[in-house]
Structure 1
Amino acid sequence: MSYRAIVVGLGGLGSAALYRLAAEIGPGVLGIEQFELGHQRGASQDHSRIIRLAQHQEQYAALAAPAYKAWDEVEAESGQQIVTKTGGLVIEDRVARRGIDTGARNIEGYTAMFDRFGVGYELLDADGLTARWPQFRASGDLLALYQADSGIVDAARSNAVHIALARAHGAEVRARTPVRDVRPDGDGVAVVTDDEVLYADRVVVASDAWTNRVLAGTGASLPLTVLQEQVTYYATPHLAEFSPARFPVFMWHGEHNFYGFPVYGEVATKLGQHMGGHETTADDRTFDPDPVRRRRYDAFVDANLPRFGGPELYTKTCLYTVPPDQNFVLDALPEHPQVIVANGAGHAFKFAALIGQLLADLTLDRTPSHPIDAFRVTRPALTDPSFPRSFHV
């Protein structure tokens, strides 16, 4: 069978690309997922991701407001709520971070981008933070940045909505269909499954931890590190205090970088640590939480958010698939421009609705609607073997 476009991988980025392509092309678009839809093996499961205008790098700050607009478009067409605004905090424990090279990843880095892009914000010291949100226990040399538009994007729900909208526009979806090879074939691409060989004018590979396996037939291989990360849900008895209307999403930059959510998706709060998980592969990863990180989370909660905690509801793992510079990959392969590659570097979900449009632009040979030069596959981080890993921890 032949298609105008095939999307391989239907997590956050792939499902968004499938929807945007189907909205333009209609029938003639196919989405392929190797596991069941909504599976728990990759990076796009679970209820919640933070969405925020707060970015410390220009390439992401430029995409932040357009990402909100893209989610608005998805909500308007589907009639489904995907984004819940809670307000959001970036909290910097300056004592804990003293001597740590943070680059622009401090409060001033965020405010510089806010000022540049005309975004309103508030700065609070420890007393101001606890006066506004007494759920926190904070003192000393601590600085907090508040931005009212931050909130939650529902990951699992948005994937399902993107796939449903794609089907409504005529896309075909095949689950439980591993792709064994993607082979450039003249000006098109052959996509090999266990049952048949499919053909397409263009293919989008959004396969995250499986990217290099899918790309093997193209001769391309990206220097990607797969990390096993985890989050814990706490069955706090203090539900009203941590409702989305009364408690914001937050990032806490200290000795370790934590992020947290109000009660959402489960009757529980949620805490994670950004980066720091052990290296693994899609095949070797386990679903067993790291007890060291579990204890680290508990200690953080006890010290800084004592009523946020409670009996552990569960801890679950996921995968980050990260280039050496921890920047996205959104580009066509130079040797095979009919193959477009998408990688979210462990922090793309907040942008997923917009990235779907950008991938559609690339697939349809258009200039992307927003700047993505920083995410080219030809940049030194992906082509120079000596390029050092510089993860934003």
Structure 2
Amino acid sequence: MSYRAIVVGLGGLGSAALYRLAAELGPGVLGLEQFELGHARGASQDHSRIIRLAQHQEEYAALAAPAYKAWHEVEAEACQQIVTPTGGLVIEDRAARAGIATGSRNIEGYTAMFDRFGVAYERLDADELVARWPQFRVNGSEQALYQPDSGIVDAARANAVHRALARAHGAEIRANTPVRAIKPDGEGVAVVTDEGVLRADKVVVTSDAWTNQVLADTGTALPLTVLQEQVTYYATPHLAEFAPSRFPVFMWHGAHNFYGFPVYGEVATKLGQHMGGHETTADDRTFEPDPVRRARYADFVGRHVPRFGGPELYSKTCLYTVPPDQDFVLDTLPAHPQIVVANGAGHAFKFAALIGQLLAELALDHTPSQPIGSFSITRPALTDPNHPRSFHV
């Protein structure tokens, strides 16, 4: 069979790309997922991700407001709520960060981007932080930024909505259909599955930890590190204190970088650590949470947000697939421009609705509507074998 476009991998980025392609092309668009839809083996499962205008790098700050617009477009078409505003905090424990090389990943890095892009925010010292949100316990060295547009984007719901809208526009979806290879075939692409070979004018690869397996026959191998990360849900008894209307999403930059959510999705709060998981592969990963990190989370909660905690509801793992510079990959293959590749570097979901639009633009040979030159597949971090790893921690 032949298709105008095939999307390989239907997590956050792939589901969004499928919707945008189907909205442009109608029938003739196919999405392939190797597992069941909504599976928990990759990076896009679970209820909640933080969405925020708070960015410390210009290339991401430029995409933040357009990402909100893209999510609102999806919500409007589907009449479904995906984004829940809560307000958001960036908290920096300066004493704990002393001696850590943070680059722009400090309060000043965020305020510079807020000012550059005209984003409203408040700056709070430790006393002001606790006066506003007495749920926190601080040592006095903390400084915080509050930005009222931050909130929660519902990951699982967003993916399902994107796929439903794609079908409404005529897309076909096949679950439990692994792609064994993609092979440039003249100006098109041959997509090899267990059921046979499909052909497409364009292919979008959004396979995350499986990217290099899918790309193997294209002559492209990206220097990607797969990390096993985890989050913990706490069955706090203090539900009212941590309702989304009373407690914001937060990022805490200290000796470790934590991020937290009010009660959402489960009747529980949620805490995670950005980066720091052990290296693995898509096939070798386990689903067992790391007890060291579980204890680290509990220690942080006990010291800084004690009523946020409670009996552990569960801890669960996910995968980050990260280039050496931890920046996105959004580009066509130089030798095979009919193949588009995306990698979210472990922090893309807040941008997923926009990235889907950008991937569709690349696949359809349109000029990208947003600046994505920093995410080129030919940048030194991906082409220089001696390029150091510089993960944003």
1:95 alignment partner AA: A
Q: Is residue 86 from structure 1 mapped to residue 86 from structure 2 by the alignment?
A: yes
Counterpart for residue 180 of structure 2 = 180
Secondary structure class of the residue paired with 1:307? helix
1-structure distance, mates of 2:305, 2:355:
34
2-structure distance, mates of 1:135, 1:170:
48
Contact conserved, 1:27 with 1:170, CA < 8 A, in 2?
Answer: yes
2-structure distance, mates of 1:98, 1:360:
43
Cα deviation for residue 72 of structure 1 reads 0.2
Q: Is residue 38 from structure 1 mapped to residue 45 from structure 2 by the alignment?
A: no
Matches within 5 A, 1:1-393: 1-393=1-393
1:342 alignment partner AA: A
2:12 alignment partner AA: G
**Number of residue pairs aligned between Structure 1 and Structure 2:** 393
Secondary structure class of the residue paired with 2:330? strand
Q: Deviations over 1:339-383 (max 9, x none)?
A: 100000000000000000000000000110000000000000000
TM-score where L is the length of structure 1 = 1.00
Secondary structure class of the residue paired with 2:146? strand
Q: Deviations over 1:299-320 (max 9, x none)?
A: 0000000000000000000000
1:274 alignment partner AA: H
1:290 alignment partner AA: D
Cα deviation for residue 140 of structure 1 reads 1.5
1-structure distance, mates of 2:322, 2:139:
35
2-structure distance, mates of 1:174, 1:217:
22
2-structure distance, mates of 1:195, 1:239:
49
- Which 4+ runs in 1 deviate beyond 3 A? none
Cα deviation for residue 138 of structure 1 reads 1.1
2-structure distance, mates of 1:217, 1:101:
40
Contact conserved, 1:180 with 1:192, CA < 8 A, in 2?
Answer: yes
2:242 alignment partner AA: F
Secondary structure class of the residue paired with 2:306? coil
1:141 alignment partner AA: S
1:61 alignment partner AA: A
Q: Deviations over 1:171-230 (max 9, x none)?
A: 000000000000000000000000110000000000000000000010100000000000
2-structure distance, mates of 1:259, 1:200:
41
1-structure distance, mates of 2:287, 2:5:
33
1-structure distance, mates of 2:335, 2:326:
23
The farther-off stretch of 138-147 and 263-272 is 138-147
Secondary structure class of the residue paired with 1:127? helix
Secondary structure class of the residue paired with 1:129? helix
2-structure distance, mates of 1:81, 1:276:
32
Secondary structure class of the residue paired with 1:355? helix
Contact conserved, 1:258 with 1:271, CA < 8 A, in 2?
Answer: yes
Segments of structure 2 that go 5 or more residues without pairing to the other structure are none
Cα deviation for residue 139 of structure 1 reads 2.9
Segments of structure 1 that go 5 or more residues without pairing to the other structure are none
Identity %: 83
Contact conserved, 1:333 with 1:377, CA < 8 A, in 2?
Answer: yes
Q: Deviations over 1:36-67 (max 9, x none)?
A: 00000000000000000000000000000000
The farther-off stretch of 32-41 and 139-148 is 139-148
1:92 alignment partner AA: E
Contact conserved, 1:35 with 1:175, CA < 8 A, in 2?
Answer: yes
2:120 alignment partner AA: G
Contact conserved, 1:257 with 1:273, CA < 8 A, in 2?
Answer: yes
1:7 alignment partner AA: V
2-structure distance, mates of 1:325, 1:205:
20
2-structure distance, mates of 1:94, 1:35:
44
Secondary structure class of the residue paired with 1:95? helix
Secondary structure class of the residue paired with 1:101? coil
Secondary structure class of the residue paired with 1:337? strand
Contact conserved, 1:127 with 1:139, CA < 8 A, in 2?
Answer: no
1:357 alignment partner AA: Q
